[in-house]
Structure 1
Amino acid sequence: MKQFAFLLWFALLSCSGQKGDKINGISFVGSREEVLQAHVNPVLDIHANYAAVMPFGFIRDLQSPELVFDTERQWYGETKQGAKQYIGMLHKNGIKVMLKPQIWIWRGAFTGDMVMQSETDWKALESAYAKFILAYAELAQETQCDMYCIGTELEEFVKNRPQFWQDLIIQVKHIYKGKLTYAANWDEYTRTPFWDQLDFIGVDAYFPLSEHREPSQEQLRSGWQPWKKQLKALSEKFEKPILFTEFGYRSMDYTGKKPWLVDRNQMEVNLEAQAEATQMIFDEFWDEDWFAGGFVWKWFIHHDRAGGHADNRFTPQNKPAESVIRKHYARIKKLNPQG
């Protein structure tokens, strides 16, 4: 019976125009100021149909249960008011929105390693995080966001407090009536216990692909195959589409070796390596019926001064990778002119 149900689900996906109905998104970084039409025009220029808006909450260290958010000390785009203004401007331009509140731990410590030292601290963290996520669930419902992400890369929190997350999802669904996902890290998503409660299996797709300085297309394709097989199998198991809640590469040598690196290393700029890796992720995934699309990491509102040929960071702006994205998103738009 389960096999029949999966075949029916897969047939419905295949018949619903999935190849031309992808989420072609960008991760829209919060700024100090309001978003103007001039800031949205470059997003329209690359034919993106979705943007992730990302307000932030802050935690002092990996053992601290105190979460601060929506304060006057934050940048405008990281607050509730700023997120609302961003969503309104994006919607005005026909761009759908995934609201994706995230945590920043001081000095950039990895959120997936956050572990409390006592039951009291776990309870305090749960209370603080629920307040954070439910506040933005209200905003997502108020602004009619098209999708809501309930967390990003929080493996230890999820692993240690599974009942909290089940309860949180129920609470979110009482408030927000749209589609839900969670952004699991690339090495976390197979162990995330609540995919059956969400609409998309969200993955931050920083999979290691190659040890080479500037891998060839064949090397990149080969590097993707075991990960792709695993992703498809999970999609089939839960009968849910895979969504890359984040994807992208740094414009530097060895970009496919450890794509998750966010350090300030001085690795040589390599614009072509970024462009080739970006092209391959489109080639491998965007025509798969079980794949929903994804959000490029990351896109700054001041396009004219973002990225550029001397930059080795993630943004594709003003680099060859931007042209790759534009060409691909334009192709998908032609397949689905109503999207």
Structure 2
Amino acid sequence: MKRFFILLISLICCSCSGQESKVNGISFVASPKEINETNIDPVVKVNANWAAVMPFGFVKNLKEPSVVFNIERQWWGERADGAKKTIELLHQKRIKVMMKPQIWVWKGEFTGNISMDSEEDWRSFENSYEDFIMLYARLSEEMKVPILCIGTELHTFVQKRPEYWSQLIKKIRSVYKGKLTYAENWDQFANAPFWDQLDYIGVDAYFPVSDSKTPTVEELRDGWQQHKSKIKMLQSSIGKPVLFTEYGYRSVHYTGKKPWDSERTNGDIDLIAQNNALTALYEEFWEEPWFAGGFLWKWYHNHDEVGGEDNNRFTIQNKPAEKLIQSLYKDD
């Protein structure tokens, strides 16, 4: 009888360990001004159980060897005090947080192209970036944030300076006890040299999956297969779960052709294409045991004033896709 009881308990424990809920996340855009709990209620309503909080550091150009961060000129939500308050509000609603400090290059130049011309500049930039990340690593530990993302779409920096990143990860772990990831762009995710030092393989999942104006779910799922096989191949070799640190589609024609395209053009609104693309991604990945979930790009604090059916941007707010995600996230 005793042996039977022990076996039963072990079976229950094994079963439960395999049922960890997915990250049904949103990317919470930093607010210009202080927010309160009413700004979190729509996040709860869409059934998100996670949110990425994204303080920012700024770089003047792709060769500038310093990161400017946590200064008064920044928006409230981009600074440490704003990030802390946002985390508190999310925690009050039982929403888990991934801290995701990000770099913005003036004029919107791509962070993946940041590269210094001299060893001296590299060292200066690395010291500055370390100060930036360690501030938010300490805040993440203070706030008991479960996941910290140590960088976003920095492939040149990452690939040219692997020793720096290896040491930075060790320093982060000396002050932060949660799990670590890094958000690499869809076309470079296999080239990050340090996945074995992290807890999740982080991918910003803007993969091209269809050339059609309004692609069907079936067509989009077909378009995922080549990318999915590469993701799974890396996951199998590293042995860490995959987390979509960003995913999303604009409500625009040809949304699956260049999903990373954020050009501020109006018109060509296609709410069906956005729905279909989100449905296909969810159906392809959310049931996979090696897939941890993802953070939808992007969600604004002022819910009633953003998005809408005449908006062709990434946000799902006040569009049919909001109800879709509410349903998909509820089912998990």
Quickly name the TM-score band, shorter chain normalised: over 0.9
In the other structure, the counterpart of 1:336 is none
In the other structure, the counterpart of 1:314 is 314
Q: Is the 8 A contact 1:19 1:288 kept in 2?
A: no
In the other structure, the counterpart of 1:79 is 79
What is the DSSP-based 3-state SS (H/G/I as helix, E as strand, rest coil) of the residue aligned with 1:127? Answer: helix
Distance apart, 1:146 and its partner CA = 1.0
* Mean CA deviation greater in 316-325 or 260-269: 260-269
Q: Is the 8 A contact 2:23 2:294 kept in 1?
A: yes
Q: Is the 8 A contact 2:218 2:280 kept in 1?
A: no
Cα distance in 1, alignment partners of residues 148 and 186 from structure 2:
19
In the other structure, the counterpart of 1:66 is 66
Distance apart, 1:265 and its partner CA = 2.2
Cα distance in 2, alignment partners of residues 109 and 125 from structure 1:
17
Cα distance in 2, alignment partners of residues 179 and 102 from structure 1:
17
Are 1:48 and 2:44 matched, yes or no?
A: no
Distance apart, 1:299 and its partner CA = 0.2
For residues 248-292 of structure 1, the C-alpha deviation after alignment (integer angstroms, 9 at most, x for no partner) is 000100000000011112351111100110111111100000000
Q: Which runs of 5+ in 1 are unaligned?
A: 1-12, 333-339
What is the DSSP-based 3-state SS (H/G/I as helix, E as strand, rest coil) of the residue aligned with 1:24? Answer: strand
Q: Is the 8 A contact 1:186 1:205 kept in 2?
A: yes
Match of 2:168, as an amino acid? L
User: Which protein is bigger by CA-based radius of gyration?
Assistant: 2
Cα distance in 2, alignment partners of residues 45 and 160 from structure 1:
43
What is the DSSP-based 3-state SS (H/G/I as helix, E as strand, rest coil) of the residue aligned with 1:210? Answer: coil
Match of 2:275, as an amino acid? A
Q: Is the 8 A contact 1:19 1:286 kept in 2?
A: no
- Change in Cα spacing, 1:248 to 1:160, as seen in structure 2 (3 Å) is same
* Mean CA deviation greater in 193-202 or 31-40: 31-40
Cα distance in 2, alignment partners of residues 328 and 80 from structure 1:
32
Distance apart, 1:218 and its partner CA = 1.7
Are 1:177 and 2:192 matched, yes or no?
A: no
Q: Is the 8 A contact 2:114 2:154 kept in 1?
A: yes
In the other structure, the counterpart of 2:10 is none
Distance apart, 1:35 and its partner CA = 2.2
Cα distance in 2, alignment partners of residues 19 and 216 from structure 1:
31
In the other structure, the counterpart of 1:246 is 246
Query: Deviation above 4 Å: which 4+ runs of structure 1?
Result: 13-20
Match of 2:315, as an amino acid? T
In the other structure, the counterpart of 1:261 is 261
In the other structure, the counterpart of 1:303 is 303
Distance apart, 1:52 and its partner CA = 0.3
In the other structure, the counterpart of 2:193 is 193
What is the DSSP-based 3-state SS (H/G/I as helix, E as strand, rest coil) of the residue aligned with 1:51? Answer: strand
Cα distance in 1, alignment partners of residues 211 and 329 from structure 2:
29
In the other structure, the counterpart of 1:89 is 89
In the other structure, the counterpart of 2:289 is 289
In the other structure, the counterpart of 2:9 is none
Instruction: Tell me the C-alpha RMSD between the 2 structures.
Output: 1.6
In the other structure, the counterpart of 1:10 is none
In the other structure, the counterpart of 1:128 is 128
Cα distance in 1, alignment partners of residues 79 and 318 from structure 2:
27
Write the mapping of 1:153-232 to structure 2, written as runs, cut at 5 A: 153-232=153-232
Distance apart, 1:14 and its partner CA = 8.6
Distance apart, 1:163 and its partner CA = 0.3
* Mean CA deviation greater in 254-263 or 266-275: 266-275
Cα distance in 2, alignment partners of residues 164 and 240 from structure 1:
22
Are 1:272 and 2:235 matched, yes or no?
A: no
Distance apart, 1:185 and its partner CA = 0.4
Cα distance in 2, alignment partners of residues 292 and 18 from structure 1:
12
For residues 4-49 of structure 1, the C-alpha deviation after alignment (integer angstroms, 9 at most, x for no partner) is xxxxxxxxx9945556610000000001122211111100001110
Match of 2:29, as an amino acid? V
- How many pairs were matched up? 322
Provide TM-score, normalisation by structure 1: 0.93
Distance apart, 1:217 and its partner CA = 1.5
What is the DSSP-based 3-state SS (H/G/I as helix, E as strand, rest coil) of the residue aligned with 1:266? Answer: coil
Distance apart, 1:235 and its partner CA = 1.1
- Change in Cα spacing, 1:14 to 1:274, as seen in structure 2 (3 Å) is farther
- Change in Cα spacing, 1:14 to 1:282, as seen in structure 2 (3 Å) is farther
Cα distance in 1, alignment partners of residues 32 and 101 from structure 2:
17
Cα distance in 2, alignment partners of residues 266 and 211 from structure 1:
20
